[in-house]
Structure formats: C-alpha cells, structure tokens
Amino acid sequence: MTKDVIALTPKMPDLRTLLAGLYAGGPDLGVNTLADGAVIQLCAPGGRPLVSVEAPILVQVPGETTRLLGASPGVPDSPVWWTEARASTAVAEGGRLAGSFAGRLATVLGGTVWPPEAASTDVVPLTTDISAVPVPATSAPAVDVLTAKAAVVIQDRPLVTMTSWLSDALRGATADDRALQIVTPPTTRLTLPTRTALLGHPNRWVIQDPDHSFYDGLSGAVLHWKGGTFTPILDENGTASVAKTFTATPDTGERQLIISLRTRHPADEDLVLGRALETAWHTLTGTPPAGWSTAEPVNLPWSTRQLTDLARARAPQPTWLIVIGHPDRPAIATVRITRTPAGVEEDITLTLGYSQDETPPLDSIEPLAEALCSDHELTTMLTSLRAARRDLTVHPHFEAPPTPLSFTLGAGELRDVGLAQALRPPLSLTPVQLGPATEPALHYPLGDGTDPGAWNTLQQLTQHLKHVS
C-alpha cells in the first residue's frame, strides 16, 4: 500500500531543510522537480521516483488538521505548515524514506509527523534491485498503476481526501479518457469532495477485502481486474452481484442536510462570486464559511474577493473549489464556477451534519430560497435530507439516497417556463410565490424528508417544468 506521511511544522520548511530531509536516502539518490517546482521527487539512480514531496501549504483554517487527520495526540491546530510526502509502492524502502524525510523536517522545525509511527531520522539505504523496477508510465505522483483504461491510486490512510495529488490525477485521467480508481482497505473513509469526484462514470472507489476480493465502495458491486481496469463481475443475466459486507449500517439518528443550488450572473467587472454560498451558510449556521481552497487540506481563510480573483484568472476554464465551516458545525461545500454564453454560473452543493440530538433548520429553507432569489440570481435549488454521518465522511457501506424536501425555481427560469404553467403542477402541490409580483420565483415544498415517495413527486414536477435546466 502507498505510504503517505505528513510533516506538520510551525515554520515553513525552507530549501535547506527540504534538502536535509531528502538526504534521508543518502547522497547517492537524485532529486527531480515537477509541476514548475511544486513537487520534488527523491529518485533512485536511473530516475525511478522513490518519494514525491508536495510544496508546503500553510493551513490557516481552524480545525482543518483535526478534520482530516483525527484528534490524535500531537496533531496541531492551525496555523501550521503541512508538507506531504508520498512513497512509491514499487520500492520496499519508499515508506521508510518518506517517514525519515518527514521526521527530519519535524526535528529541525519543531513539529510533528502524521502518522506518528512513521517518523524517524534514519538514513534508509536503498537495497532493492532498482534495475528490476520499471520507471512508471506516468509522472503523476498519485498514480500507482496506469493502463489504457484506468489510472489506479492505492491509498491506506484512514480518510482519503481530495488532495492536490488526487485532483491532478483526476484531471489527467479525465483528459486521457481514463477512469480514476482509488483502491483502499475496508476501514478507509472518503471526504465528501472525494466522493463527489468519484461519482462520475467510470471512476470507482475499490475496496480490497481481507479475503483478497474487491468491491465498489459506493455501489457494493463485486469487482475484478479485467482488461486493465476494475470492472463488475456479471452473471449470465448481465447483473452484478453485491458484496456481502456492503450492508446498511444501523440508523444512529445522524442526518445530513443537502442544499444544491445554481446561480447565474452577468459577466461584469463588479461581479463577486461566493455570496450566494455565504448567504446560505449564514442562514443555516449563523456564521460565514471558515475557509476555501482548490483541494484538501482547505488552507485559506474565507474570502469572496480572493476566490473571485482566482475564477477570473482561470476563465474561460472552469474553477472547482472546496469550502468548509467552523469545527463546531460540520459543513462542507463544493463549488464549480463556469463561464458560459449566458454569464457566470455557480453550481454549489452544501452539506451540513447533525447528530441525533440536533435538529436540522428546515424552517430556514424557505427564507433562504427567498434571499437567494432576491439578491443572488438563483436559477434552481433542491434541498434534501438523508440518514448519514454527522462528520460528513463516507464509509464503504450502503447509504439510502437523500429524500427531497423542497424545490425552488428562480425568477429567470420561471419566465422561461411561464407563471401560469408553473403555478399548476399536475400534483397536490401548492407552490409558494417568492419576491415581487413583477419578478416572482416559486418554492415547492415536497415533504418533511421522511417520505421516499417525494422523489416521484420531484420527478413529475421537473418534467412539468420542462424548461428547467
């Protein structure tokens, strides 16, 4: 399994300290750089990468290190410099080299290493016959196996996060029309951004069972390696079997409230993005978001101006972001910003976690819908509720789909549909009119989140509103 080791230090590792860490393998190993210097590789003679080190990140968001690494002893809170090393799976010494690299940084700068058992400062001699280990077919440090059909990433960390390594691997796989497939043990969980990335076909979360079988961690389908990719094993009827261990977990009373919304803005110089999400966060939690980034760990304090500047600099290419809340209220959002002929669009999914003793703020949904329609050019919003973990992580077990609570049609979309048609859906629904009579929006309550039949109601409604995108 791949060994990821992280040095957490109060000071930024400078070039001299990084080189001291890279000498964990002795002076005979070489050093290469990738991605304009953002990744440093410790290489064996002949160029075979042994350890890849990402540029240090200053994590400034409170609670982020604990969210991703757990509340284990020695894990410091922000601000902290996060320097991640990823060992090659093809060379036996890779994991020890990564641990020694991180341990040396922590020793020099007064920090800690995660996981703590990986830390050392030993010189790790290279005894593997490197001539028998081929140079990988890809320069992407996250990818362990590359075929014509798949980029396979092997992970053994308890929580797989959407790191910049993984984000780069996903972009590369998508560009080359390959599947991204992450292989983990059954004890591993995913963050919601990682799960979101894997929902696109043909990407997979591959669970390796102790009995050496494989199954899909999101669907439960039993898998095998065939034709250079993990694919379901089908019976004579073309049906995939489900792994016995992929069973529903007991309902603990924990819930997740999910807000999926879209906005569309004119592309002018005064546009500031992120305000719709900020309004939703304030309405549902009483506070603004805590931080944002293009990957995990989320390292930047919340700033609508800075994320707008980033999206503008990347245009016309889309921008994908992760936004998190304060530690006392689990909340995370993914945002995709796209420049289209109609303007600038934000596609936002905000998920909030609640324990059995906490009540999701369902009474706030309609006021939120009105605020978004009035002030933030909402096109559509779907809210739903699901039985799932408060900490917003994903286990490789069956999870029931969310149940719709409401659907909101913004004023611009309503003009396309027509008010008369939108007011008379072929259902026992009574929409609530939001905003002024001259520019109305409509809010459709669908239930209280306990009736699975609300999906059928939503489907009939959206078919009736045939012009809704």
What is residue 410's predicted lDDT score, i.e. its pLDDT?
Answer: 97
| pLDDT tier at 336, thresholds 50, 70, 90 | very high
Residue 35: is its pLDDT beyond 70?
no
What is residue 447's predicted lDDT score, i.e. its pLDDT?
Answer: 92
Which tokens go with 420?
């008369």
**Residue bearing the bigger pLDDT, 403 or 250:** 403
**Residue bearing the bigger pLDDT, 372 or 128:** 372
The rounded distance, in Å, linking the Cα atoms of 271 and 259 is 23
CA separation, residue 159 to residues 85, 86, 149, 190, 218 (Å): 16, 15, 26, 5, 15
Residue with tokens 């796209």: 338
The rounded distance, in Å, linking the Cα atoms of 195 and 434 is 34
Detail the DSSP E strand segments found in 271-318: 291-293, 300-301
CA separation, residue 68 to residues 35, 187, 188 (Å): 25, 15, 12
Residue 364: is its pLDDT beyond 90?
yes
| pLDDT tier at 91, thresholds 50, 70, 90 | confident
Q: Which of 32-46, 290-304, 340-354, 396-410 has the lowest mean pLDDT?
A: 32-46
Strand-pair partners of 150: 179
Evaluate the omega torsion of the peptide bond into residue 56 and state whether it is cis, within 30 degrees of 0: no
Q: What share of the chain is helix, strand, coil (3-state, %, to 5)?
A: 25, 30, 45
With vertex at residue 382, the alpha carbon angle to CA 381 and CA 386, rounded to the nearest 5 degrees, is: 150
The candidate with the shortest Cα–Cα distance to 350, out of 398, 288, 304, is 288
Taking the CB of residue 286, how many other CB atoms lie within 10 A of it?
10
Measure the N-to-C terminal CA separation of the chain; round to a whole number of Å: 43
Contact by Cβ (8 Å): 159, 184: no
Tens of pLDDT, residue by residue over 71-81, are 877 899 989 99
Which tokens go with 397?
């077990």
The candidate with the shortest Cα–Cα distance to 279, out of 367, 213, 197, is 367
Residue 348: is its pLDDT beyond 50?
yes
The rounded distance, in Å, linking the Cα atoms of 2 and 155 is 5
What is residue 469's predicted lDDT score, i.e. its pLDDT?
Answer: 45
CA separation, residue 185 to residues 205, 244, 395 (Å): 10, 15, 11
The rounded distance, in Å, linking the Cα atoms of 243 and 263 is 40
Taking the CB of residue 129, how many other CB atoms lie within 10 A of it?
8
Contact by Cβ (8 Å): 223, 201: no
DSSP strand pairing (112-114 vs 331-340): unpaired
What is residue 46's predicted lDDT score, i.e. its pLDDT?
Answer: 73
The average confidence (pLDDT) of the chain is 91
Contact by Cβ (8 Å): 335, 348: yes
- Residue spans of alpha helices (H) in 376-423: 411-417, 419-422
In terms of Cβ atoms closer than 10 Å to its own Cβ (0-12, 13-18, 19+), residue 434 is buried
Tens of pLDDT, residue by residue over 273-308, are 999 999 999 999 999 999 999 999 999 999 999 999
Contact by Cβ (8 Å): 364, 405: no
What is residue 48's predicted lDDT score, i.e. its pLDDT?
Answer: 78
Q: Dihedral (C-alpha) 139, 145, 146, 148: value to the nearest 10 degrees?
A: 180
Q: What is the mean pLDDT of residues 3-24?
A: 91
- The helix (H) or strand (E) run that includes residue 448 is none
Strand-pair partners of 343: 340
